[in-house]
Amino acid sequence: MSIHRRLFAECLGTCGLLAVVVGSGIMAERLAGGNAAIALLANALATVAGLYVLIEVLGPVSGAHFNPAVSLVMAVRRELPAALLPSYVVAQLAGAVLGAWLVHAMFDLPILQWSTHVRSSAGLWLAEAVATAGLLLVILRAPAGRAPALVAGYIGAAYWFTASTSFANPAAAVGRMFSDSFAGIAPASVPAFVAAELAGAALGLLAHRALSSTPSAAR
């Protein structure tokens, strides 16, 4: 598979993921009549469905990372060439921002905006570390062909059992800061979220290695 196709798939997939997350958040907030639980449920269900489809469709092209933390772990495991890691991350970040802007255009909102939704506390940072660790553990230990369903199911559950609603993705955090909507995050809150997510990815990899019985499986 050509490098350009792989990068396009990562950009397109991350754009689609952010469009699903942000767009369903806006629609849910408009229709829920102020009921935050209903809005979150709708947001989570849309994300589960969208993520599953995107992984199934684009996985054969690029691996369907859509997430710099995932790409970093795959580079550590030598499943992604280290030389491709920076390009993957740039493609994912660009796709995340484009996804937020696409949603704004569809909902007749100002394209360029910054989120004012502050998300900053020790509990939220811990939640992001837990969410990302779990995501990487699911990805690394999913049986062959089962990753799309298991990843989508895990993220849907993590929307509800984590205090942060499970961003679990540095690209998603960056993309969401460009949307002052239900799913947004204030720019000042992003660095701590990204740090927690990267720490969680490392913990997920360590947990996978601890559970693996052979050196080759524990890479």
Q: Are 137 and 207 in contact (CB under 8 A)?
A: yes
Output the pTM of the full model: 0.94
- Encode pLDDT of 42-98 as tens digits: 999 999 999 999 999 999 999 999 999 999 999 999 999 999 999 999 999 999 999
Q: Are 29 and 182 in contact (CB under 8 A)?
A: yes
- SS3 state of residue 185: coil
Per the domain annotation, does 218 fall within a domain?
no
Per the domain annotation, does 150 fall within a domain?
yes
- Encode pLDDT of 85-143 as tens digits: 999 999 999 999 999 999 999 999 999 999 999 999 999 999 999 999 999 999 999 99
Per the domain annotation, does 219 fall within a domain?
no
Q: What is the pLDDT of residue 213?
A: 72
Assign residue 11 the CATH number of its domain.
1.20.1080.10
Q: Are 65 and 93 in contact (CB under 8 A)?
A: no
How many structural domains are present in the chain?
1
Per the domain annotation, does 34 fall within a domain?
yes
Please state the length of the chain: 219
